[in-house]
Structure formats: C-alpha cells, structure tokens
Amino acid sequence: MEQDLADQSAALFRLLGDPTRVRILQTLAETDEVCVHQIATAVGTSETKVSQALRLLRTARVVKNRRAGRHIHYRLDDDHVRTLLAVTFEHLSHQAVHQARRT
C-alpha cells in the first residue's frame, strides 16, 4: 500500500472516530436528503454541532450538499460510504455475538 493511500485511509477512520459523526452518517444512510435541523433532531444534538460535523464530512467528500432556497440538504457522497457503515455495523454485530458465545 502506498503511503499516501495509507495516510488518507487513516484520516478517514479518524473522521469516523467520532460517535456524533457516525450517527449523522447513519441518519443520512437511512434517508435520501435531509437538512441540518432534521439531522440534529434525529441525532439528538444541536444544529451547531451537526453543522460543524457536516463541514468536516463535506471537506472529506463523505457527504454532499444541495442548496434549496435558504436550506441546505445533505446526503451521502456515494454508496461506498453506505457500504462502509454497513460493513462496520455488521462486523460489530458479529463481534457481539461471538463475545456472547464466549461467556
């Protein structure tokens, strides 16, 4: 693996290392497009915190946005992000089952 690709991968995993950002991405994975207010309500945090997280996710090209009048609607950048989330949750679920069998 080239160093640049390793660095980019590590940066993406650091970005996903925040529970609020993961919850935002999960919300986006379950919908087509939503605005900051809807995301904040679904995640249970402030619009300011959601906006800051979305800025980071947009800069990393994990989410896209579209302006509609005064509102900005967000969606996942592509299906790779949805797949990454699904594989992560599947892995964690598998670990939980495996751990439960040990006890």
Q: Is the pLDDT of residue 21 over 90?
A: yes
What is the pLDDT at residue 102?
72
Phi/psi for 2 (5° steps) reads -70, 150
pTM of the model: 0.86
Tell me the helix, strand and coil percentages in the chain, rounded to 5: 65, 15, 20
Q: Is the pLDDT of residue 97 over 90?
A: no
Q: Number of structural domains, the chain?
A: 1
What is the pLDDT at residue 80?
92
Quote the domain boundaries for residue 42: 3-102
Q: Is the pLDDT of residue 74 over 90?
A: yes
pLDDT in tens, 39-64: 999 999 999 999 999 999 999 999 99
Q: Which CATH number covers residue 66?
A: 1.10.10.10
